[in-house]
Structure 1
Amino acid sequence: MIDSVVFDVGSTLTREDRYWADWADWLGVPRHTLSALVGAVVSQGRDDGDALRLLRPGLDVAAEARAREAAGRGQRLAESDLYPDVRPALAALRGLGVRVAVAGNQSVRAGELLRALALPVDEVATSGEWGVAKPDPGFFARVAGLARAPAHRTLYVGDYPALDIRPAKAAGLLAAHLRRGPWAHLWHDTPDAAAADWRIGSLTELVGIVRAAA
């Protein structure tokens, strides 16, 4: 039985096109240049912020993000940034009586923006608010508390095998690997991805999985 489903954010619930495009525009570089650098550094196992630092050596990303906010060009999140299956799937899961929550590696500001979208979820939390980020075990300890269900009856859904699937399984949670977004495709054939209890191509598939597990 699955009592609670907790979702990652980027490339799971939201597209990241706008996020990186806004950074490129702020730094005054072509959007494709930054996108390519993000892919390159992450494929090397580096933090995606390193892509920004390649463009501006020594850049303090957090300070620059604050500068963007002060200039009125900070992080944005709109309905168009959600994948089409998000609202229907979340609503259907809640209709099954499942607790639905969101917890990802996001800023405090992103948490505010997510709540403003009024998604059909019970709770939203971010690593910025918790002070601990994936893949740290402390993050998934917080996920377990957010779920309000036993670990073996809590399902974590994410796209990034090394950050989502491996640590979720290590914490005793169930895990579903969602194949969308660049990192899901890049590492689809890795042991981390294979460790998932389910491998899905859309959130719509989760409704059937949860219903069958009842």
Structure 2
Amino acid sequence: MIRAVIFDVGECLVDETTEYGTWADWLGVPRHTFHSMFGAVIAQGRDYRDVFQEFRPGFDLYAERDARAEAGKPEHFGESDLYVDVRQALAELRGDGLWLGIAGNQTVRAGKLLRELFSSDVDLIGTSDDWGASKPDPAFFHRVAEVVPFDVDEMLYVGDRVDNDIRPAREAGMHTALVHRGPWATIQWRSEAAQKIPTFRVDSLLELAPLISQFNR
């Protein structure tokens, strides 16, 4: 049975359109150009951080995050950046008695923002900076398995990327759900891996509660 559901953050719970737009502004390039390059880098199977290198070779993402904060323009997301199905989906899953968590590749600051948004909705919020391990490193998923109070095969990890979320979570022994939104899922959706690996494939998080209920019967 599935007893716990753990969510990725970016393009799963949070629409990152605004955040990446502010990075384009910080770099001084048109948002359309930045987004186009972002898509091209993903389609080529490269790390998304390569986008910044295309515009500014030697770009240090962590240093620039600090510089943005010092300039009064820190990374930020809030209620308006959540996908419209998030609140209802969490409520339905909680109503079904499922244990809920959020765990993704996020900074300490992002972890604070997540706790402000979700502390009363989920049982756990963990970030890669908190744990010193980031996806797709198996250590990240081992950490998730350590802090969730159920067996690993009773966990469902929900994410938008086959490479960063679905494949490594499955290799760790978890069930997985691939949500069809954001640039990665859009590009990867029709791939063989995206069709074969996930336990569930969904267009909306609202599909999860009935699918889990049926799976658990």
TM range (shorter): over 0.9
1:21 shift after superposition: 0.6
Q: Match of 1:26?
A: 26
More divergent stretch after superposition (101-110 vs 111-120): 111-120
- Quote the residue 2:156 is aligned against: 155
Report deviation, 1:185. 1.4
In structure 2, distance between residues paired with 1:121 and 1:77 = 18
Q: Structure 1 residue 118: deviation in Å?
A: 2.9
Deviation at 1:81, TM superposition (A): 0.4
**Residues matched between the structures, number:** 214
Provide the rounded CA distance (Å) in 2 between the counterparts of 1:19 and 1:152: 34
CA deviations over 1:53-73 (Å, ceiling 9, x no partner): 111111111111100011110
Q: 1:212 aligns with which of 200, 211, 214?
A: 214
Q: Which residue of 2 aligns with 1:178?
A: 179
SS across alignment from 2:62: helix
Q: After the TM superposition, which residues 1-214 of structure 1 pair with which residues of structure 2 at under 5 Å, given as runs?
A: 1-118=1-118, 120-194=121-195, 195-214=197-216
User: How far, CA to CA, are the matches of 1:125 and 1:209 in structure 2?
Assistant: 25
Structure 2, unaligned runs of 5 or more? none
Q: How many angstroms apart in 2 are the aligned matches of 1:109 and 1:124?
A: 13
**Within 2, Cα distance between the matches of 1:115 and 1:4?**
19
Distance (whole Å) between structure 2 residues aligned to residue 50 and residue 91 of structure 1: 37
Structure 1 letter corresponding to 2:146 = G
Please give the alpha-carbon distance, in whole angstroms, between the structure 2 residues aligned to 1:43 and 1:147: 33
Q: Percent identity?
A: 49
- 2: CA distance, partners of 1:98 / 1:5: 7
Shift of 1:77: 1.0
TM-score by length of 2: 0.95
RMSD: 1.1
SS of equivalent to 2:118: coil
Unaligned runs of 5+ in 1: none
- 1:213 deviates by 3.0
Could you list the structure 1 runs, at least 4 aligned residues long, displaced by more than 3 angstroms after superposition: none
Can you list the C-alpha shifts for 1:143-177, whole angstroms capped at 9, x where unaligned? 21232211111000011011111111101100111
Give CA-to-partner distance per residue, 1:24-62, whole Å, 9 cap, x none: 111111111111111111222222111111111111111
Partner SS state of residue 68, structure 1: helix
Shift of 1:191: 2.8
Q: Which moved further from structure 2: 37-46 or 26-35?
A: 37-46
